A and B are shown apart, each in its own frame.
Chain A
Amino acid sequence: MFVARPIAADHRDLIHDVSFDFHGRRMATCSSDQSVKVWDKSENGDWRCTASWKTHSGSVWRVTWAHPEFGQVLASCSFDRTAVVWEEIVGESNDKLRGQSHWVKRTTLVDSRTSVTDVKFAPKHMGLMLATCSADGVVRIYEAPDVMNLSQWSLQHEISCKLSCSCISWNPSSSRAHSPMIAVGSDDNSPNILAKVQIYEYNENTRKYAKAETLMTVTDPVHDIAFAPNLGRSFHILAVATKDVRIFTLKPVRKELTSSGGLTKFEIQIVAQFDNHNSQVWRVSWNITGTVLASSGDDGCVRLWKANYMDNWKCTGILKGNGSPVNGSSQQGVFNASLGSANTSLQNSLNGSAAGRNGKRTFFPSPTPFDLSQDTSSLITTKRNSKGLSKNTLYTFLY
């Protein structure tokens, strides 16, 4: 992994969430400053803020994109007890000239009586649907029946989870064999031993969501939850961020003939559990193929996890702050330093794999010495390890 470029976010307060659109060409950021910003990637790879507007009257917790089949649509949720759906309208000519896009509020979902903690669009095969969850313990599922009229959303389902909800995740599987499914996590921290992850499944017969499973082993507050892309498997993989990172598999047990049309029962297994973050884990999320899980925790690091061919999960990368807060003026310098450190690791790999023990492996042209002293920044903490193994992206394969 290497840092490709920094983007000055320019939020006046903490950023709570960043979300890429489906193609990775746009992103949205939201912050305690009550605003949402939309960024567009230009042809040369630069990110430019094309819209920034006040969205809520409280901290904005989450922002998320609808599938582009439904146009350019965002949803945000906030401490102000609402979730809002936004749509980009193709700008007036002078807006376009200034390179700005224009977002309009299509609807405000006001059913929650407490802070709305998460908002997620359903998988696109279900149509334009949106789920929210809130601190009052209710998951709400809304639908826009007419994708050309986003001001009309109807509240389709209200699921009472009995516990303050912190996060939701839709099962992305589009297989006909799998009913729509949503997992809900709770960060309720009252001293009880109630399970904090519940899984609800849509029942075709009753046309309602009903609780299919509860992950009994997860009793500590849950901060995030994520189903992995399905890859055509018969079972599901669910990652949970609690006091550690946990990965579960949910294997549907064949429905008995008598209970056909009823709820699926699952055989739940924990396949990995990592406490490397030392304390609370706040976010978990899968890459697009569901082969790498990223987690973020109280140790201030982002860790990447990957399974090998033995179903053996290992940490395959760590992203860590270099420990130095910056002020605006030294920003550029700091970034240069980061480039420098990237080179150091390359240099390590060179020393490790190529240059000989006595520096005399003659078929390798000797490299130009990389003069660290030129870099006056003290930010580089990686030691120049002239003999160690080079550590690169591929180590993921072994173990």
Chain B
Amino acid sequence: MEELDVEPPLTLIPGVDSKSKQMCFAWAPGEMLVYETLFPKECAEKRPGCPNIFIVRKDKDVYSQTLRKLFSESHGIFVGLQRSEEELGGKSRKAQLVRVSKNYRSVIRACMEEMHQLAISTRDPELQCQHSTQVCILSAMELIWNLCEILFVEVAPAGHLLLHLLDWVRLHVCDVDSMVCEVLSSENPSKHKDFWNAVDIFVLQGRMDDARHLLSKEASANPTSMGMCKILDDLMKKMPILSIGNTQTLTEMELKWQHWHEECQRYLQDGTFSSNLHMESICKILLGDENAILEKKELMTTWYHFLVTRLVYSHPTVKPVELRFYAQSSLDLFLGGESSSEPLDSILMAAFEFEIHQVIKECSIALSNWWFVAHLTDLLDHCKLLQSHNLYFGSNMREFLLLEYASGLFSHHSLWQLGVDYFDHCPEYGKVYLELHIERIPLNTEQKALKVLRICEQRQMHEQVRSICKIMAMKAVRNNRLGSALSWSIRAKDAAFATLISDRFLKDYCERGSFSDLDLIDNLGPSMLLSDRLTFLGKYREFHRLYGEKRFSEAAKLLLMLMTAHIAPCSFWMTLLTDALPLLEQKEVIFSAEQTYELMRCLEDLTAGKTDNQKLQVDDVETTKVEILRLALARNLARAIVKEGTLEGS
């Protein structure tokens, strides 16, 4: 394929002098930043020239409010197309693809209408210019898409092909309607300066009924030309037209055409229309006279209109493969000496030549966003039109374009959600692109974090899920929201962090004597097992609940178990033993003799475990505490022995 060499686009950064200074940059997920600097670090001149840092963005269109609609509505069509049943064979599959194509086009049209309204309603000339520009671009997109639809999706056969092309021209050359309205609404239509122009346009577009309707105005207003009008009208009426659903064969059609053509020829040669230049030229057009058609250049405005008109009157049964020759010669004839062609011309030409890759490449040059090429290529791929064409890293062109488009969506603060589905339908690199992009979505709020998390969970992106939870947990800890931090780290299955947060909870408890986030701790369930410390936190809170509910013996049993099973960290034993005090002081005996022995051993282990050095540092409060505990334990033991002895004896 012919290489297209295009100079890379230049973006000017205001206020930076590239001649004497350098620029440096930094990447952000969706944008870039540039600033002036000087690199040889020892450089003497230090005075900063440009004080600004500039944010530079790639896809301007992503930020357009009106195009937003294009993005979001086409997203639905795209997803529908991916889910559509490939099995649908033959005709119904084709009908489905054509329907999808039309849906895309109607989204473009709707967007164009809206942009047009904006352009009309705004008073700001700069905005108006922007909107008008967008209307032009959207309009060109729709024109190209429509042609691709006819040639590649519909794959209309000879005969029908031309009908579609006529519709295409009619749809996109709409000036004529306003002109006709003007002509018809005038007092005397046939005297209007644009009367014959209007008739010509109808003829050029093959709209015979409309042309005849206008012609009848002339006939009734001008009795002298009535006869001539009648003959021309008759010729127009008789013009053989293949219609969709008509069963006649191409040969029949060609035969009829031949007859009609000869009839026209006869009238022209015997000078029937020689007294009226307008009618004579129409008759020449009907005969497919290239020069006569070219004379109406101003009315056709484009070479592809000329092409279609030419085909209508000289090659009505043109085959798809023949299009390229007529297209090229029409372009040459229409443009005359001018040789350089515009992007739109080369795109349409490539389409007429059935060079799909060329169409997509040329569109990539001319358009300012990836929307068009990505969606069109995807559709054509579903039509099984793209030969395997290995792109970088082995992915195909469709995927390449979809990845670029979706990456662009991810630079927008809300459109990124649409991008997710596009990545989902890129089998090769979609997943890894999604991973790289989604972890960069700012987690400003818990709500947003949950949204991102859900997307990752649905796709089994475990590492991203873990990372998001971890980030949220860290954020919560930093802001002293321990409950939130704990639930995020449980979600992240981050044992180390859960331990750390449990410690914070316990520390807070020791300082304040109460727990925060009771709901969460009370409902830990199996997640309690994530870390030993978390288990302890959960169990310790359970102890408090039991105690609060006055289920003393259960509470006592749990408390003891926390120490004997080494669930509680040693540093916390003194607190636990202190917690045992009120139980020891209850009227009734709660700790049995055996349990009391266990408690005593815990206390002794704790005090014995401390080095001499630590012992020296133990303050009076601590010593007193130990003394009180020992006393309470001894008294409880006495009571328990007595009670147990009594019970046994009775």
Contacting pair B392 A311 (CB below 8 A): yes
On whether A229 and B436 interact (CB within 8 A), knowing A379-B14, A391-B7, the answer reads: yes
Contact of B365 among A71, A280, A350, A389 (CB under 8 A): A389
Tell me, in angstroms, the Cα distance from A395 to B10 when the chains sit together: 12
On whether A367 and B48 interact (CB within 8 A), knowing A297-B22, A320-B11, A338-B12, the answer reads: no
Q: Is B338 an interface residue (CB 8 A)?
A: yes
Interface-side segment among B38-46, B69-77, B223-231, B271-279: B38-46
Q: Is A289 an interface residue (CB 8 A)?
A: yes
- A47-102 interface with B by 8 A CB criterion: 47, 59, 61, 68-72, 79, 89-90
**For B172, what are the chain A residues with a Cβ–Cβ distance below 8 Å?**
363
Q: Identify 20 new A-B residue pairs, CB closer than 8 A, beyond the known A2-B60, A309-B392, A368-B129.
A: A13-B48, A15-B48, A174-B463, A288-B436, A298-B22, A308-B392, A319-B56, A321-B50, A322-B12, A322-B13, A338-B14, A353-B136, A354-B344, A357-B342, A367-B132, A367-B136, A382-B10, A389-B343, A392-B366, A394-B368
Chain A nearest CB, measured from B43 CB (Å): 8
**For A61, what are the chain B residues with a Cβ–Cβ distance below 8 Å?**
41
Q: Is B529 an interface residue (CB 8 A)?
A: no
Contact of A321 among B18, B29, B173, B366 (CB under 8 A): B18
**For A350, what are the chain B residues with a Cβ–Cβ distance below 8 Å?**
133, 136-137
Q: Is A387 an interface residue (CB 8 A)?
A: yes
Tell me, in angstroms, the Cα distance from A16 to B9 when the chains sit together: 26
Q: Which of B7, B52, B364 has the most CB of A within 10 A?
A: B52
Q: Is B66 an interface residue (CB 8 A)?
A: no
On whether A393 and B58 interact (CB within 8 A), knowing A24-B440, A322-B12, A338-B14, the answer reads: yes
Chain A nearest CB, measured from B128 CB (Å): 5
A-B contact pairs, 14 of them (CB 8 A): A1-B32, A24-B442, A289-B407, A299-B18, A321-B13, A347-B129, A354-B136, A354-B344, A356-B342, A362-B173, A367-B129, A370-B129, A379-B14, A399-B4
Contacting pair A393 B13 (CB below 8 A): no
Contacting pair A16 B6 (CB below 8 A): no
Interface-side segment among A25-33, A104-112, A176-184: A25-33
Interface set of B (CB-CB < 8 Å, partner A): 3-39, 41, 46, 48-60, 116, 119, 125-126, 128-130, 132-133, 135-137, 139-140, 143, 172-175, 298, 301-302, 335, 338, 340, 342-344, 360-361, 363-370, 373, 389-393, 395, 397, 400-401, 404, 407, 429, 432-433, 436-437, 439-444, 463, 467, 470-471, 474-475, 477-480, 500
We find that the number of chain A residues with CB closer than 8 angstroms to chain B is: 129
The 5 A-B pairs with the shortest beta carbon distances in the complex, nearest first, are A309-B391, A300-B18, A321-B16, A24-B28, A354-B136
Interface contacts (Cβ under 8 Å), in number, total 389
**For A79, what are the chain B residues with a Cβ–Cβ distance below 8 Å?**
41
Q: Is A258 an interface residue (CB 8 A)?
A: no
Q: Is A121 an interface residue (CB 8 A)?
A: no
Tell me, in angstroms, the Cα distance from A32 to B48 when the chains sit together: 10
Contacting pair A18 B130 (CB below 8 A): no
Contacting pair A361 B302 (CB below 8 A): yes
Tell me, in angstroms, the Cα distance from A326 to B301 when the chains sit together: 47
Tell me, in angstroms, the Cα distance from A354 to B443 when the chains sit together: 42
Tell me, in angstroms, the Cα distance from A318 to B23 when the chains sit together: 11
On whether A148 and B28 interact (CB within 8 A), knowing A6-B53, A9-B52, the answer reads: no
Contacting pair B24 A18 (CB below 8 A): yes
Tell me, in angstroms, the Cα distance from A291 to B21 when the chains sit together: 28
Residue of B nearest to A393 (CB): B58
Contacting pair B12 A381 (CB below 8 A): yes
Residue of A nearest to B132 (CB): A367
Contacting pair A397 B343 (CB below 8 A): no
On whether A356 and B126 interact (CB within 8 A), knowing A90-B480, A231-B393, A300-B16, the answer reads: no
On whether A27 and B26 interact (CB within 8 A), knowing A9-B52, A318-B10, A361-B301, the answer reads: yes
Chain A nearest CB, measured from B490 CB (Å): 16
Contacting pair B29 A331 (CB below 8 A): no
Contacting pair A2 B17 (CB below 8 A): no
Contacting pair A328 B437 (CB below 8 A): no
